[in-house]
Amino acid sequence: MELKAANNGSYPRISDDDQRHRQAYAKLDSKEIAWDDFEKVQDEVTRDAIEEQAKAGLDIVTDGQIRWYDPVSHIARNLEGCEINGLLRFFDTNFYFRQPVIKGKISRRDSLAKEYRFASGVSSKPVKQVITGPYTEAKLSINNSKADFRALVDEFAKVIAQEVKDLAGAGAKFVQIDEPAILKKPADFAILEKAVKKISAAKGGIELSLCTYFGDAAPLYKKLVTLPVDTLSFDFTYSPSLPDLIAEKGCEKNLGLGIIDGRNTRLDDKDNVLAKIVKIMPAVEGETIYIMPSCGIGDYLPRGTAFKKLQIVAETTEKARQMK
């Protein structure tokens, strides 16, 4: 079994000293610059975000989701049959996303593989592509189509399965499907399961991960481990009982430990983090344990703090390796 330091998802796009992205966005809004100019800035900022993650000591990075307006509408903007509506609070955070409105049958206009190709091209570390999952996309959308909720999840699953296939074609090794919404309604597990099966069938050589956050995964743990994915990732800040539960039940899959608090600026106590890792380590039969922030950190933390959090991820991973 191997330990790796990984980012969960997003990384802050601006800091007090570096507001290129914000300024370019404002200029794009006021039509002072064209989309292509804005994309150049997004490329630069993405490259810097990737570099910072590597500098913090991570083994697996993401593109920081710099191009994502928010976790929900980024996927939906790319879809026929879908419009983007007003702002809604993203779970219990102070961050707002734009709500997709489903008008009819959905289909992709473009592929995330483009973003992946850019990121992997400029990164010295393997890049994990993050995608918000079909259940969460459907749950957070307004459904004005003829399809009922189940059918809508299926449609999103089809679209995301195509995405995963394209990513495999682009050489992606790690894809993480985010499904925070399932924790709010565990009774929908069968709907999620069907969608995950569809995506899993398209994964080719990809190590497919399912990630939940902003809720306690413990009540669903027994079911989640049956899903056809290679890796399960959890938010440990919401779940005091999860380390004991995993230690007791074991885990045949790789495990992502979202154990560094991605929502608070307080720097996590390393000994405390390490104790949790040590408790869980012997129970994991999968090949890899990923130490991660509890959620994407791009929309919740200032960039300086985000960097320090990733350093803690790397340092505790290293310490845990020595204790193995």
For binding to another protein (CB under 8 A), which residues are involved?
12-16, 19, 22, 25-26, 29, 69-70, 86-87, 89, 92, 94-98, 184, 216, 238, 264-266, 298-305
Residue-wise burial string across 60-94, b where 16 or more C-beta atoms lie within 10 A, e elsewhere: bbbbbbbbbebbbbbbbbbbebbebeeeeebbeee
Residue closer to another protein (CB basis): 19 or 226: 19
Nearest-approach distance from CB 275 to another protein, in angstroms:
16
Closer CB to another protein, 89 or 146, in the complex: 89
Residue 14 or 225 having the CB closest to another protein: 14
Phi, psi of 239 (to 5 degrees): -135, 85
- Read off the DSSP letter of residue 181: G
- Comparing CB distances to another protein, the nearer of 15 and 311 is 15
Q: How far is the CB of 73 from another protein (least distance, A)?
A: 10
Please say which residue, 78 or 85, places its beta carbon nearer to another protein. 85
Nearest CB to another protein, comparing residues 207 and 268: 268
**Cβ 267 to another protein, closest distance in Å?**
8
Instruction: Give the nearest distance from C-beta 43 to another protein in angstroms.
Output: 18
Q: Which is nearer to another protein, 16 or 36 (CB)?
A: 16
Q: C-beta of 178: minimal distance to another protein in Å? A: 17
235 contacts 264 by C-beta, under 8 angstroms: no
Query: Are the C-beta atoms of 278 and 3 separated by less than 8 Å?
Result: no
Strands (E), 15-95: 79-89
Residue tagged 């509890």 (tokens): 294
Question: Is-contact 106 116, C-beta < 8 A?
Answer: no
3-class SS of residue 211: strand
CB of 248 to another protein, least distance (A): 21
Six token digits for residue 81: 């049959």
Residue 266: both structure tokens together? 């307080």
Q: Least separation, in Å, of the C-beta of 89 and another protein?
A: 5
Q: In what order do the strands lie in the sheet with 2-5?
A: 2-5, 288-293, 254-260, 231-235, 207-211, 174-178, 128-132
CB of 83 to another protein, least distance (A): 16
DSSP 231-274: EEEEEGGG-TTHHHHHHHH-BSSEEEEEEE-SS--SPP-HHHHH
Residue closer to another protein by CB (options 70, 155) is 70
